[in-house]
Amino acid sequence: MTRMFEAAATSRRNVWIYTAAWVALVTMYSAAFIANGVSIGLALRNAIANYLPDAVLGLAVLRLPSFLPWPDGRKGRFFAAHLGMLAAFLVIAAAGWVFLIAADSLLFTGHPNVRINFRFVPLRILNEVLIYCTLAGLAYAWQNAEAVREQAERATKAEALRERAVLEAMRSQLNPHFILNTLHALVGLLRREPAIAETALERLGDLLRYSLRVQRDGIDEVPLREECAFVESYLALERLRLADRLRVSVETPPAALECLVPTFAVQILVENAIRHAIAPRAAGGLLQIRAQEIDGRLRVAVTDEGAGESAKASIDGSGIGLRLLQDRLTALYGSNAKLTLRRIDGGTCADLEFPARRVAEEER
């Protein structure tokens, strides 16, 4: 609601600024005519006939960034489109100017007499070009300023949420209960299978190092391959507890592995599936992780065989990690990302989808 009021106030302020700018231009134009001996009334009418069509058309020019955004790559088509719109602007403005002159003559003399001094046509065309370019430049500058402001707000929110995400992740996967269960399993392994116990300790160290690096360096996104390696370490420790009850299938094409994902994003989905769908069942279940890049978007799907338990748990309000992940997605990608949980035949599917970006693209 607050944002709506702020937007309305900004819109009203912009209308007043736009109107005041044109009034000032009409006043200066009239003053120039009056200084050359033209009556005040005629000077004012001439100024209105010259600039009223521009003022009306200018409202459309200011909307151009919404329909013709500034391109990231080649700009040939962009400028060609603007040349076409500039030509239309010149023609429509000229037609409006002639119409107003004829209307003024009909109103004050009774005859629609239009007299145009063609020596001033080149000057008028130059003036129209300057007006179009000025308005278009202001529109794109305003759009860029808004984008920068929104990005700064998202970055600030993302930073705060990142800190919360790190703490949430460390509490969820490295909490005392989890570590005690892991250590308890390791005690038995140390006697029976020391080599496996040593590997498990290394996995636990990998989890700790990853979490601490994310916290220390303030990392919001990592390549999917790093997140998958982290998840594999997490799953390796869960297998100590669940053994054969936990079955895993991973499908991640090489191209998708280089895409950036929010830190802990996949792990949160995996943990949610294990906690609510696989661990409570005596038979356990299959956990599937699939990633694919389609039309410039990355989709990560985590599916379990819990007959909807993980989705129900999240819907009922216990999915704290999922709500936090949704907030992080909004902060990082705005409305270009989404997280959905849906029941499917024999289980639940959590879909994570957002723009596919890579490290090289971020550095440019």
CATH of the domain at 211: 3.30.565.10
Confidence of residue 1 (pLDDT cuts 50, 70, 90): very low
Q: For all residues of the chain together, what is the average pLDDT?
A: 81
How many folded domains does the chain comprise? 2
More confident residue, 114 or 318: 114
193 and 68 belong to one structural domain: no
Q: Strand 246-251 and strand 285-294: pairing? A: parallel
In a domain, 165, yes or no: no
Question: Within this chain, do residues 140 and 205 fall inside the same structural domain, yes or no?
Answer: no
How many other C-beta atoms are found inside a 10 Å radius of the C-beta of residue 212? 12
Q: Would residue 203 count as lying in a domain? A: yes
- Asked, for residue 160, whether it belongs to a domain, the answer is no
- 147-156, 179-188, 228-237 — most confident range: 228-237
Average the pLDDT over 215-219 and give the result. 78
* Residue 146 DSSP SS3: helix
**Do 141 and 212 share a structural domain?**
no
Enumerate residues 6+ apart whose C-beta is below 8 A from 262.
165, 220, 221, 325, 328, 329, 332
Alpha carbons 306 and 50: distance in angstroms, whole number:
72
Better-scored residue on pLDDT, 185 or 50 = 50
Over residues 44-50, mean pLDDT: 85
The predicted pLDDT at position 315 comes to 43
Instruction: Give one DSSP letter per residue of 68-128, joined into a string.
Output: SPPPSS--HHHHHHHHHHHHHHHHHHHHHHHHHHHHHHHHHHSS------GGGHHHHHHHH
* pLDDT beyond 80 at 307: no
Helices 320-333 and 265-273, packing angle to 10 deg: 160
User: What is the separation, in whole angstroms, between the first and last Cα of the chain?
Assistant: 37
Q: Is the same domain home to 136 and 184?
A: no
- Among candidates 251, 253, 252, 249, which has minimal Cα distance to 278? 249
Distances (CA, A) of 202 to 44, 175, 196, 244: 84, 18, 10, 21
Check pLDDT > 70 for residue 181: no
Same domain, 188 and 120: no
pLDDT at 251: 93
Q: Are the beta carbons of 220 and 158 closer than 8 angstroms?
A: yes
Q: Which two tokens stand for residue 246?
A: 């936990």
The encoded tokens of residue 113 equal: 């007499």
> Is 251 within 8 Å of 348 (Cβ atoms)?
no
Q: Is residue 290 included in any domain, yes or no?
A: yes
Same domain, 106 and 231: no
Residue 304 has pLDDT above 70, yes or no: yes
pLDDT at 249 over 60: yes
How confident is the model over 277-300, as a mean pLDDT? 90
Confidence of residue 2 (pLDDT cuts 50, 70, 90): very low
| Contact in structure between 190 and 205 (CB atoms under 8 Å) | no
CA angle at residue 231 from 227 to 233, to 5 degrees?
120
Residues 79 and 192 in one domain: no
45 with 178, same domain: the answer is: no
Which residue has 């080149």 as its token pair? 122
The predicted pLDDT at position 70 comes to: 82
Q: Same domain, yes or no, for 179 and 298?
A: yes
pTM, rounded to two decimals? 0.55
Is 194 among the domain residues? yes
Q: What is the DSSP letter of 218?
A: T
Tell me: do 208 and 121 sit in the same domain. no
Residues 17 and 129 in one domain: yes
120-146: average pLDDT: 86
- Domain C-terminal end among 114, 149, 184: 149
Note whether 354 and 315 are same-domain residues: yes
**Domain that residue 118 falls in:** 2-149
What is the 3-class SS of 282-320, one letter each residue? Answer: CCCEEEEEEEEEECCEEEEEEEECCCCHHHHHHHCCCCH
Q: Is residue 300 part of a domain?
A: yes
On whether residue 6 sits in a domain, the answer given is yes
Is residue 233 included in any domain, yes or no?
A: yes
